[in-house]
A and B are shown apart, each in its own frame.
Chain A
Amino acid sequence: MKKLAVLLLIFGVILFAKDIVITAWTVGPDNPSFYRFDNLKTAAERLNRMLEAAGADVRVKVDGFFDTTDWSEFKQKVLFGFQAKKKFDILCSGHDDIGAWAEAGYIMPLDKFVKKYWKQTYYDIIPSLWQSVKYKGKIYGIPQDTEARPFYINKQVLKKLGWSDEEINALPEKIAKGEFTLEDFVKVAQEAMKKGLVKWGLFHRPKKGIDYFQVFTSFGADFYDEKQAKFVFNKEQMLRVYDFFYKLTNVWKITPSSMIGTPWSSVHKEVTSGDVLAWMGGTWNWAEWKRDYGKTEKELENMFLIAPFPKSKNYGRPNTLSHPVVYMIPAHTKYPELAFLLITLATAPDLNMRHAVESGHLPIRWQETVLPEYHKDFIMQQGTKLLPYSGFIPNDSKFDLFNTIIFEGIQWAEGGQDPKTVVNLVAMRLKDQLKDKVIIVEK
Chain B
Amino acid sequence: MKKTAWVFLMPMLAMVVVFFFIPVVLTIILSFTDMDYRFQWNFVGFSNFKDIATDFIIPKVTSNTLIYTFATLGLFNVGSALLISLLTTSMPEKWGSFFRSLWMLPRLTPSVVYGLLWLWIFDPTKHGLLNFLRASMGLPPQNWLYKAPMFIVIVANGFIGASMGMLIFTAAIKAIPIDYYRAALLDGASWWMITRKITLPLIRWQVLFVTAYQTLSLLTSFEYILIITDGGPVFRTEVWSLYTYHMAFSNYRFGYGAALSVILVIMGIIFALVYLKLFNFEALMQKPKVEVD
Contact with B along A228-258 (1 / 0, CB 8 A): 0000000000000000000000000000111
Knowing A263-B123, A266-B123, A432-B55, say if A397 contacts B37 (CB, 8 Å).
yes
Contact with A along B239-258 (1 / 0, CB 8 A): 00000000001111100000
B182 to chain A, nearest CB (A): 56
Determine if A417 and B55 form an interchain contact, defined as CB atoms under 8 angstroms apart.
Answer: no
Q: A404 vs B230: C-alpha distance in the bound complex, in angstroms?
A: 13
Contacts of B253 in A (CB 8 A): 401, 433
Which residues B11-46 have CB closer than 8 A to chain A? 37-39
Nearest CB of A to B26, in Å: 14
| Contact (A261, B56) CB under 8 Å given A269-B127, A397-B37, A401-B251 | no
Q: Does A327 interact with chain B (Cβ within 8 Å)?
A: no
Residue B163 at the chain A interface, CB threshold 8 Å: no
By the criterion CB–CB under 8 Å, are B127 and A265 in contact? yes
Q: Is B49 an interface residue (CB 8 A)?
A: no
Q: Please report whether the interface of chain B is mostly helix, strand, loop or mixed according to DSSP.
A: loop
Q: Is B232 at the interface (CB under 8 A from chain A)?
A: yes
Stretch at the interface among A114-122, A300-308, A408-416: A408-416
Q: Give A212 Cβ to nearest chain B Cβ, in Å.
A: 15
Q: Within the complex, what minimum Cβ distance (angstroms) separates B56 from chain A? A: 6
| A301 CB → nearest B CB, Å | 25
Alpha-carbon distance between A266 and B145 when the two chains are bound, in angstroms = 15
On whether the beta carbons of A266 and B56 are closer than 8 Å, the reply is no
Is A30's CB within 8 Å of the partner chain B? no
Does B109 lie at the interface of the complex (its beta carbon under 8 Å from any beta carbon of A)?
Answer: no
A432 to chain B, nearest CB (A): 6
**A377-411 Cβ-contact flags toward B at 8 Å (1 or 0):** 00000000000000000000100110010001001
Interface size on A, residues (CB 8 A): 34
Known: A103-B38, A429-B56. A415 touches B125 (CB 8 A): no
Count of chain B residues with a beta carbon within 8 Å of a chain A beta carbon: 29
B117-147 Cβ-contact flags toward A at 8 Å (1 or 0): 0011001110110000000000000010110
Contacts A76-B249, A397-B37, A404-B250 given; does A256 touch B124 at CB 8 Å:
yes
A-B contact pairs, 19 of them (CB 8 A): A79-B37, A256-B124, A257-B143, A258-B124, A261-B145, A261-B230, A263-B120, A266-B123, A266-B124, A266-B127, A266-B128, A397-B37, A404-B250, A404-B251, A408-B235, A411-B233, A415-B233, A417-B234, A429-B56
In the complex, given contacts A257-B143, A263-B119, what are 14 additional A-B residue pairs having Cβ atoms less than 8 angstroms apart? A79-B37, A79-B252, A83-B39, A105-B38, A256-B124, A258-B145, A261-B146, A266-B123, A266-B125, A400-B252, A404-B250, A408-B234, A425-B56, A429-B57
